[in-house]
Every structure is written in C-alpha cells, then in structure tokens.
Chains A and B, each alone.
Chain A
C-alpha cells in the first residue's frame, strides 16, 4: 500500500510562530505537493516539488516555503504563522514520469493559529 504520512493530525500554534509541517512518502514518488483545503474553496496548491531540491510555486505560496532535501520528505514551512493560515493542510505524492500520475494523499493536518 502506498503510504503518505503527515507528522501531525492536529496542531495549535500562536501567531508569529514558525511552523513546520512534515510529509513522508514510501513509494519513491518523484512529485510531492502541499495543498490547503478550506470550505467552499476546494484544494488550493501551495507548492509542489518534482525532484529533490526542486520546487515550484502553486496558486497561494505567499507566507509559505518548502524544503525537499530527500526524495521521500517534503516539508511545508509557515515562516510567521498568521490566523488566516488556519486551515486543513494536505500533502500528496505521485510518480512524475509514468502514465498514471494519480496522487496519493496523507491524512491531513488541521492547523489552528491563535
């Protein structure tokens, strides 16, 4: 079974804190993605990575950064958390070059910034 594991299910952080969300996949996938999910807005892409040390901005990268030092791990960093970053964060991974690039998702991290 493909496994995408996010480090925390629930997080509560204070405004201004630096927050790290970790995601690990065990399928040797090239692509990894970070989305945030908000009611009525679906999933919005924050950043994605198609290889180690490579990253591309998605639709809403402001206030976020990412790190991909190893193929299996993709970290999302909130440089200075703000209340409007309270959301559900979903990590996903997929193969990069195969025909079937179906994405597999982690269980999500519900972040509350107070």
Chain B
C-alpha cells in the first residue's frame, strides 16, 4: 500500500527565512505533485514533477524529486506572509495519494 509522509505538519516561520518541507513515499513512482490550499478553499496545483532529478521553481518556491530516495522537497526562500497556506504533496501510483499536509504560517 502506498504511503505518503510529509513533515513537518506545522511550520511557523519568520518572514525572510528559508525552510524545507519534506515528502517521503513508499512506492517507485516517478510522478509527484505539490498543491497549495488556502483556508476554506480547494487545492491548487503548484508543481508537477515527472522524473528523477526534476526541479521546478516558481517565485520563492522550489520543488525537487529524488525517485531513488523516494523523496521530494519543497524549499521556501525568503518567506513572505502570502505563502501562508497548507501544502500537500501527492504521489501517483495507479491512483493519487496525498500526504497529511504542512500548515505553513509566515509571521512578519
């Protein structure tokens, strides 16, 4: 059974700081996705990673995928308040399974 584990589950950061969210999974899939969810809203796609070594960047967020380690990271650079949200990773292996989510709060 595919398991997807994210950590940390809660993250409180100061503006301007850097941090990394980790997503470990238990299968050999090479398809991994990152989503953002704002309070009361649905999930919005951030990154699609489809091969080992894939790296995608958008603004202050950068996602990478290491299929050999079964690990994806979401790195936040110089955090700003607008990045406060819950971030989910999801792994595709016949179906789509999600991690528990990381609730990020960026404080001024």
Interface residues of chain A, those whose CB is within 8 Å of chain B, are 33, 35, 40-45, 48, 56, 58-59, 90, 92, 94, 99-108
Q: A40-B100, A45-B95, A45-B97 are in contact. Are A103 and B42 (CB under 8 A)?
A: no
A48 proximity list for chain B (CB < 8 A): 95-96
Residue from B43, B45, B94 in contact with A90 in the complex, judged by beta carbons closer than 8 Å? B43
Q: Bound complex: CA of A44 vs CA of B94, how far in Å?
A: 15
Q: Is B33 part of the binding interface, using a Cβ–Cβ cutoff of 8 Å?
A: yes
B95 and A43 contact, CB distance less than 8 A? no
| B34-65 vs A, Cβ < 8 Å mask (1 yes, 0 no) | 01000001111100101000000000000000
Contacts of A106 in B (CB 8 A): 42
- A43/B42 contact (C-beta < 8 A), A99-B50, A101-B31, A103-B33 known: no
Contact call A105/B43, Cβ cutoff below 8 A: yes
Closest to A107 in B: B42
Which residues of the other chain, B, contact A41 by a CB distance below 8 angstroms?
A: 100
Least Cβ distance of A73 to chain B in Å?
Answer: 18
From residue B23, how far is it (CB to closest CB) to chain A in Å?
Answer: 11
A104 touches B95 (CB 8 A): no
B45 closest partner in A (C-beta): A102
Q: Is residue B88 within 8 Å, beta carbon to beta carbon, of the partner chain?
A: yes
